[in-house]
Structure 1
Amino acid sequence: MENKKRQLLYAVQMYDFYLYELQLYLDTHPTCPNGLQAFRKYKELRDRAAAAYANLFGPISPMQSDCDKVFEWVKGPWPWEKEAN
């Protein structure tokens, strides 16, 4: 299970990097169809990986907290803390 946790967190980080680079490209080429298609593709992949991580291990960001009974984000450890990895 620990390996799955690392794989999912790595995937989220990788897609975040792709999306940031694509954002920089799209800032100067806002109508590029290939850039827009790539951004949509990696956003979907990032959203899936983040949802899978949150479903198995808890939220990566406060926006993923369920908030029905408790604000899950405050439950530790957080993804960047040593105990979480």
Structure 2
Amino acid sequence: MELPESYYQLLEKIQQVDFVLVDLTLYLDTHPDDLEAVKQFNQLAYESKQLKAQFESQFGPLLQFGGSFSSYPWNWKDAPWPWQV
């Protein structure tokens, strides 16, 4: 299945933002009073949610176990999964 370039670009942007969120989480575990880091974390958490909603509206579900809704008919069986590309 050939996917549009926008699929890969959006998926990469999601991965970049989520990587920074992981890094900030580790930092904030040891620096919980860093207000600027908390603000940055919250801004990126919002951006991550927006990017994932955009991805799902264009390409289908991204997260399982209730993290993403399914359209009708059930579309979890549709490939490719993000980790397959």
Give your verdict on TM over 0.5: yes
Amino acid at match of 2:4: E
Tell me the equivalent position of 1:80: 83
d(CA) in 2 for partners of 1:77 and 1:31? 41
Distance across 1 between alignment mates of 2:76 and 2:37 = 33
Answer whether contact 1:61 1:73 (CA < 8 A) is retained.
Answer: no
Question: Alignment identity in percent?
Answer: 31
Q: Which residue of structure 2 aligns with residue 7 of structure 1?
A: 9
SS in 2 for 1:75: coil
**Could you state the TM-score of these two structures normalised by the residue count of structure 1?**
0.83
Indicate the residue corresponding to 1:66 in structure 2.
70
Pairwise CA distance, 1:73: 2.5
Q: Aligned-pair RMSD on alpha carbons?
A: 1.8
The alignment covers a number of residue pairs equal to 81
Deviates more, 1:73-82 or 1:4-13: 73-82
Give the one of 36, 56, 60 matched to 2:58.
Answer: 56
1 or 2, which has the higher helix percentage? Answer: 1
Distance change (3 Å), C-alpha of 1:45 and 1:11: same
Deviations 1:23-48 (A, max 9, x none): 00000111210010000111111111
